[in-house]
Structure 1
Amino acid sequence: MTGRYLLGDYVSRAMAHAVYDKLDDGGYTGRIPPCKGVVAFGSTLHDCETILRSTLEEWIVLGLKLGHPLPIIDNINLNITATREPVDAL
């Protein structure tokens, strides 16, 4: 059986949209254009990427908790409301 990790896929695909720039001081900045406000800074490109991923994860959790619409990335839509079915059949 193959499992799908929707949130993990969303994070990975969002990170594929990341844009990095080298700063004048030698550090780096990163952002994910579809995810407004997700920005990170790091002294190395690796640090910046790590911080950007963490920022993205926190941004997603907060957005879901507050009910903010999240961008659909590569056909992954986290905005779908879960439905509950009665458990009468048990």
Structure 2
Amino acid sequence: MIREYIEAALQRAKYEIIEDAEPYYGEIPELPGVWATGANLEACRRNLADAVDAWVVFRLSQGMDIPALGKTRLKIPRRLKAGV
């Protein structure tokens, strides 16, 4: 379930080259604050996948909603929503 969500997020990623030690930059516009860099595009993509994963875990731990990405959604157990 989370793997599908991460893949859907990566399909929406926007990449650019920046002036930095890790010149590849990527972000997911629909997920505020989710971005990563890498020495090459593949490293950036891996780091971005890790950032999405951490973002989802954080939002779940805080009882925050996880937005749908197109038809891809995370089904959150009630006990997690209730903070139990």
Q: Same fold (TM over 0.5)?
A: yes
Does residue 14 (structure 1) correspond to residue 3 (structure 2)? The answer is no
Higher helix share: 2
Are residues 1:55 and 2:48 paired?
no
1:31 paired to 2:27: yes
State the structure with more CA Rg: 1
Say which is worse superposed, 24-33 or 10-19, in terms of deviation. 24-33
Taking every aligned residue pair, what percent have the same amino acid on both sides?
Answer: 29
Q: Deviations over 1:34-62 (max 9, x none)?
A: 11100101111111111100011010011
Question: What is the TM-score with the length of structure 2 in the denominator?
Answer: 0.80
User: Shift of the alpha carbon at 1:80?
Assistant: 4.4
RMSD, matched Cα: 1.9
Distance in structure 2 (CA, Å) of the matches to 1:53 and 1:62: 14
- State the 4+ residue runs in structure 1 displaced beyond 3 angstroms: none
Write out aligned runs for 1:37-76 (5 A): 37-76=33-72
Contact 1:39 1:55 (C-alpha < 8 Å) held by counterparts: yes
